[in-house]
Structures are given as structure tokens and as C-alpha cells.
Amino acid sequence: MWLIALSIIAVWQAIEIHSWPKSWLTLVEYAPYAIMVIGGFISLWLNRIQPFLVLFSIFLVNLLFFYFAPSEQVSIAQSVLFPVVSLLLPLNIFLWSLLPEKGVHHRQYNGFVAAAFLLQALFFYWLMTELPLAWVASIAQPVFPGSKLYHLTFASTLAFLIAGFVLSMKLNSLRQLRIFNHSVVFILLLMAFALNQYHQLGVMAWVSSIAGLIIILSLVFDAHHIAYTDELTGLKGRRALNESFMSLGKRYAIAMVDIDHFKQFNDTYGHDVGDQVLKMVAATLDTVSGGKAYRFGGEEFTLIFKNKSIDSIIHELERLRVDIAKEVVYVQVEDATNTAKRGKAKPAVKEVSVTISLGLAVPDKKHTTPEQVLKFADEGLYKAKRAGRNKLVVAKDAEKPARKPRGKKPPIVKD
């Protein structure tokens, strides 16, 4: 939603930029460079080379137009530079986004990047000194000849469409959530709009600034996601759990969840199947109604219920326990009874089910803080395991022993 909102603001103000005060237009001309420097520093600090390269590509486009072909001037340099830059920009963004993230310390990757920019620099130098107009004309064919609304060339339009389509399809195959990967699609659309409106003063600088801001925000959100989200299960992690304690108030409930015999399961079927079980359990726990699921660590999970009592959530916890017990995990095992022609055992598919144990606790006079309540719920969890597993136990303090009736002390008998 924030990507859509920023894109709408960028286009809306680009259309209205002719009504801006001249002082604003002067400032906006330098805004891309400041944003690119800030964004580049954040990218390098977070060891992210992809955002840096996209920012640097947009930075170079603004620099080339500013020095060689200002939008308010009509020149031969502009007629040469515009079709070439509008073609190479989407190709560069596409290349940097498609290549895997290697960080800023990968020598071979950095050598490839340096070679790519050097070849483009030599190409531009040759282009601006030789001015091969006949050659440039081949990639400067317009999509709509004579149109006053659409100015991108056919080659540039095709490059933007292919890059946007491929990167959009790539989002479906990503194993990890990266907001930057989503933001690149919006950046392609914004830069296509900026190049199309390039002739209008300030539009390129304004839209490039918004594109740089999108990259900075995506880096911040990605860093937050990595810090607070468990990569395997997709649930919020221990850091997010600890921070959630600050907003619980006085009425809440905490449940600790543990997968039964998980170590034995891992040793028998392997860690890949164990990861599959963790994902399945996490996905079921994430359906909890009235609460929030977190991965505590290992095979343990935590459920937080704000403003809830034990009676209001115990049925929901039982529902989660039963749903997980009904789930089936398919694993491959060696079937000794079914041998192949060469005498080797064929792998057979086996259905395996898993169960969970739960401990539930609420604040009381002895356990007043969320940390204490969590440990109290953990005590209930271990009681559930000792009671045979696949159970829910509500943690309660042990009842105080009844007082002995007061009376006369028995006489002391001496030998």
C-alpha cells in the first residue's frame, strides 16, 4: 500500500510540477543526488549491493541528462542521449535485480559490475563524440509517431515491459520476502513515466527522488523484517515477542507450545523433514483466533492473548492442538520389502503425524510480569509432557497445605 501511495504522489505532483515555485524546482534538481548518496550509504552499510546498483543507475541517468541534455534545451545531444538512456536504464535495473544478492564484498561480482559500467561509459563517450545519428535512429523508432502524450521509443517500451513482466513473475518464486524486490517493479513504472515526461522541467529529478526514497524505505523495512521475523516459519521471532510484552497491560494470557518428540523425529527422518514439520505447525498456530503466534526458538512457539482470560481461549488452544494432530507429513523411507531389480530398496512414502503439548498461564500475585508469566506457562508445558504429551495444561500454583488444628501439644515422652 505504501508503494502504491508513493507512486500516486510521484505521478500526481509530476503532473502539477509546472505550478511549483521556482525555488522548489531549484531544490528538486539537486534532491536526487542527496537521496542517492543517503540510500547508497544505507545499502553499503547493510551489505546490500542490489539496491546500491539500482540507485547508482538512476543517479547516472540524472547526471547524464543534467550535464549533456537538460530538459529545457533542445539539442542534438538530447536526441542522441534520450533513446539510448531510455533503453539502457530498464536493462540495467533488470540486470541488477535479476542477479543474486552477493553483498558488497564479493570480488568476482564486483568485478563484473565494474566491467559492465565501464563498457557503458566507453559506449557513451563514443556516442557523444562521434554522434552516429544513423545508428541511433534504429533504436529511436517511436511507438506512436507524432504523439504528444507518449514519447518513449519502441525499444525502450519493450525493455520496460519485459523487465517488469519478468521481475513480477520472479516475485512468485522467491523463498524469502524482500520488499526491495517488490519496490523494483514500481521503480520501473515510475522511471518509465519520468522518461516519458522528460521534456517537462523537474519531472525527472522529482520522480527519481521518489524512486530513491522507495529504495531507502524498502531497505529499512527489509532490515526490520529480517530482525523480527523467523526466516523458516515466517512467524515473528524472539525479538518481536519481547517487544510485544510492553503493550500487554494487566490482562493477558501466554501459552508455550512444544512439538512432541521433535528431536527423535529429526534424528529419524532428517532435518529437511523437521523443517517441514516446523512450517506446518507454525502455519496452523498462525491461524489462532484472538492471539498472536511467535517462534520462541527451536521447536518451541509462544502464543500471546491480549485482554483474554483462560476460559475465553482454552477452546481455541484445544482446537489448534487437535488440528495439528490431524495434519499428515509425508516422508520417504527405505522399504526393504519392495526391492528393485538390482536389489536396492525402493523409497516408500510414509504418513507421519505430529502432536504438540501446551502450557497456559495468566498473571497472578506471584507472576506479575510477562517474563514471569511466560516461565510459568513453560512450567505448565513440562507438566503436559510429563502427563503423556499431546495435552494442554493450565499452570497453577501448588495449593498451600492445610493448617493443623490448633490444640495442646502432645506430651513429650521420655525414656
Q: Is 341 exposed, middle or buried (0-12, 13-18, 19+ CB in 10 A)?
A: exposed
CB-CB neighbours of 144 under 10 Å? 12
- Grid cell at residue 152: 518513449
The answer to whether 357 touches 389, Cβ cutoff 8 Å, is: yes
The answer to whether 358 touches 255, Cβ cutoff 8 Å, is: yes
Helix locations, 16-68, DSSP H:
22-45, 49-68
DSSP state of 369: S
- Grid cell at residue 82: 534520450
Residue from 299, 300, 327, 351 carrying the catalytic annotation: 299
Amino acid at 19: S
Tell me which residue of 158, 178, 176, 144 sits closest to 94, measured CA to CA: 158
Of the CA atoms within 13 Å of residue 316, those in its CB half-sphere come to 23
Alpha-carbon distance 291 to 305, whole Å?
Answer: 4
Tell me which residue of 354, 352, 252 sits closest to 299, measured CA to CA: 354
User: In degrees rounded to 5, what are phi and psi of residue 297?
Assistant: 150, 145
The answer to whether 221 touches 228, Cβ cutoff 8 Å, is: no
Catalytic (active site) residue 231: no
**How do strand 356-361 and strand 392-394 relate by DSSP bridges?**
parallel
CB-CB neighbours of 204 under 10 Å? 26
- Grid cell at residue 343: 536389489
The answer to whether 339 touches 331, Cβ cutoff 8 Å, is: no
Q: Give the sign of the dihedral formed by CA 261, CA 262, CA 268, CA 269.
A: positive
Q: Which residues are catalytic?
A: 299
